[in-house]
Structure 1
Amino acid sequence: MTAMPPRLRAALAIFALLALVPPLAHWIGQPFLIVIATRMVVFAIAALSLDLILGYGAMVSFGHAAYLGIGAYAVAVLSRAGVTDLTLHLLAAIGAAGIFALVTGAISLRTRGVYFIMITLAFGQMAYFFFVSFSALGGDDGTALAARSTVLGQDWLRSEPGLFYATLGLLVLIFAGLYRLTLSRFGRVLSGTRESALRMQAVGFRPFPYQLTAYVISGCLCAVAGVMLANQSAYVSPSYMSWHRSGELIVMLVLGGIGSLTGAIAGALATVALEEGLAKYSEHWRLGFGLILVLVALAAPGGIAGLIRRLKGAPA
């Protein structure tokens, strides 16, 4: 019987620990911890989506948060139209993000290096300023949601535990899908393109279709995170898609380990936990967070995932 890979065991352990948060939070009389945990899981989904193109495809996107905002605004727009079903919100978000990613990705992937970074940043900012000028939904101030999405006509997401477990379920499904995808032929070609696009062309693979497909999948999955973020905060704002948010997603990957799905989840959880923890002690918490990030970059270049591998004696 084949042994379970360490990274898969680590992911299952994380999921199991997360599932214990609501009962533990109620047991110790700190229900607000469920809200924080939900936010952690939402950004874990967003970090996973970015890791597909950055960690496996070497596509550094500085406009990835645009898909987070597209997902959130899909909830706001449909809710105002009287459509409250979560499935429809997810489908609308995935569809809108997929179209945006297909168009912008087809253009962006014709560039390389810093030019790719800048053009994704430009597209992200275009989306940001579009919603800033969208006065019907509050413009720069954003808009509040009247209620959370419904599931099969029921208000199962109204309670914090209900929303948390729904978000955790999506995280597990997305992780499983990406895990299988990265082990498939598609994933191997994408990883090979990261190492050398010229070499992949020499063996008969055109990198562009694989990169564009990964780019679209990544955008759609990030939009799923946007849907759940809108439900968690009951508020939608253009700030969700600012370039600062895209930078935060990259920081999560650096902290957790670029090119490691489990590391992406760990990095998102650690980043949100550090933000919440440091903010309690000082309004200048970003200074402390920056110092921690510098220390991680110097002491553990592979992030949390790389550090754990080295502690186990495995090659980073």
Structure 2
Amino acid sequence: MSDLRPRLAPRLKLALVIFALLAVVPPIAQAIGEPFLIVVATRMMVFAIAALSLDLILGYGAMVSFGHAAYLGFGAYAVAILSRAGINDLLLQILAAMAAAALFAVVTGAISLRTRGVYFIMITLAFGQMAFFFFVSFSALGGDDGVALRARSTVLGIPLLQTTQGLFYVTLALLVAVFAGLYRLTLSRFGRVLTGTRESALRMQAIGFRPFPYQLTAYVIAACLCAIAGVMLANQAVYVSPAYMSWHRSGEMIVMLVLGGIGSLTGAMAGALITVGLEEGLARWSEHWRLGFGLILVLVALFSPGGLTGLLRRLNLIRGGK
């Protein structure tokens, strides 16, 4: 008799394995006497959240945004501004960051989505740079030099983030929540329409769907999720800088998707973890680590255009799924 029990998609199984491995990083790091690994892993997860948000619009909506890092900055500066006002609760800071990101995304997205191709890329870059230079000129928060936070945020009044392990597990919980939410979203009718628009907007219009509302909604959702990553990045570094929202940072997030596999949530997450891990590892090995990282990226582009997930698919280790 065949097994009638529901089976997990292979890529979802891979995601669960990644979460399990991340969960055991703190005890392993403490056991081997390398607590700094917890800090590195936390930073990896922060950018995994940002990469997941970008994959929603780039991988599923074919919207190549070079201004996506602006929302990382909105999240970080929400922490800095609210903490100065005496609001240190993480949940309130996340809500404020998401509101600011959503407002900026609605306005800029409504304009940007009226363009296509390279014009969309350039207009998102322009809006991102506008946000970047606004905070560079924001002298009350340090301008180009940025500003250090007095302390990390609290969670419902509890100082969970004050320890590296507490910050690590809160970040992991947010990563799991973001992944689960996007996984369900991409499997829903909304996700299917968004993916169909990526394949052919004209065809989706022919069957009765207007692509613009779906694309704009996805754009706003991605902005809000990236703002969450910004909130956690500010808490991880205990420092906020306009550099978080430069176009170079947007390019780095696109690189994460290329390494992991565009259009795969698991690949986006894995790509971010690998990218930050490689940066940290290569930087310890040589001050010219960018040369080695660039070579790795070229090899991936030449021999595995689908990134890590493309390689696993060719090896028949994964099939389908998200």
Query: Normalised by the shorter chain, which TM-score bucket?
Result: over 0.9
SS at match of 2:37: helix
- Map 1:27-42; keep pairs closer than 5 Å: 27-42=31-46
Q: What TM-score comes out, normalization by structure 2 length?
A: 0.97
- Determine the C-alpha separation between the residues in 1 that align with 2:281 and 2:268: 20
Q: AA paired with 1:72? A: A
The 10-residue stretch of structure 1 (139-148 or 275-284) with the greater mean CA deviation from structure 2: 275-284
Runs of 4+ in 1 over 4 A off after TM superposition: 313-316
Q: What TM-score comes out, normalization by structure 1 length?
A: 0.99
| Residue 180 of structure 1, aligned match among 168, 180, 184 | 184
2:282 aligned partner: 278
Q: Say if 2:11 and 2:319, in contact at 8 Å, map to a contact too.
A: no
Residues 281, 152 of structure 1: alpha-carbon distance in 2 compared, 3 angstrom cutoff: same
- Determine the C-alpha separation between the residues in 1 that align with 2:118 and 2:155: 43
| Residue 198 of structure 2, aligned match among 189, 194, 199 | 194
- Map 1:121-140; keep pairs closer than 5 Å: 121-140=125-144
2:249 aligned partner: 245
2:297 aligned partner: 293
Instruction: Tell me the alpha carbon deviations over residues 135-172 of structure 1, each in whole angstroms, 9 at most, x when there is no partner.
Output: 00000000000000001111110000000000000000
- Map 1:94-243; keep pairs closer than 5 Å: 94-243=98-247
Q: AA paired with 1:108? A: S
Gaps of 5+ in 2: none
CA positional deviation for 1:315? 6.7
- Determine the C-alpha separation between the residues in 2 that align with 1:23 and 1:210: 43
SS at match of 1:99: helix
Instruction: Tell me the alpha carbon deviations over residues 211-242 of structure 1, each in whole angstroms, 9 at most, x when there is no partner.
Output: 00000000000000000000000000000000
- How many corresponding residue pairs? 316
Instruction: Tell me the alpha carbon deviations over residues 238-285 of structure 1, each in whole angstroms, 9 at most, x when there is no partner.
Output: 000000000000000000000000000100000001000110122111
- Determine the C-alpha separation between the residues in 2 that align with 1:315 and 1:6: 6
Q: AA paired with 1:264? A: A
1:13 aligned partner: 17
| Residue 55 of structure 1, aligned match among 59, 77, 93 | 59
Indicate the RMSD between aligned Cα atoms, in angstroms.
Answer: 0.9
CA positional deviation for 1:306? 0.8
Q: Say if 2:26 and 2:165, in contact at 8 Å, map to a contact too.
A: yes
- Determine the C-alpha separation between the residues in 2 that align with 1:314 and 1:164: 29
- Determine the C-alpha separation between the residues in 2 that align with 1:281 and 1:4: 39
Gaps of 5+ in 1: none
Identity rate of aligned residues, in percent? 79
| Residue 90 of structure 1, aligned match among 79, 90, 94 | 94
2:50 aligned partner: 46
CA positional deviation for 1:313? 6.5
CA positional deviation for 1:314? 6.1
Residues 165, 80 of structure 1: alpha-carbon distance in 2 compared, 3 angstrom cutoff: same
